[in-house]
Structure 1
């Protein structure tokens, strides 16, 4: 039970890391997608 929980936590960490990387890449490619007035 403990081992599976640790693996689950690692998977969540990896997913969040990949998501942050993806968002950073998108922002770098499309800076206009940040906050536009109006």
Structure 2
């Protein structure tokens, strides 16, 4: 089982073996607390 599962949205699947997946990641900065 993987340590963490990331869910994304497929934006393009034009090529036969390639998929473009867009991930929406918001991580809080350790020092400043700002979401990046």
TM interval, short-chain normalised = under 0.3
The structure that is strand-richer by fraction is 2
Between structures 1 and 2, the one with greater helix share: 1
Which protein shows a greater Rg?
1
TM-score, structure 1 as length reference: 0.23
TM-score (norm 2): 0.23
Structure with the greater relative contact order (CA < 8 A, sep ≥ 6): 1 or 2? Answer: 2
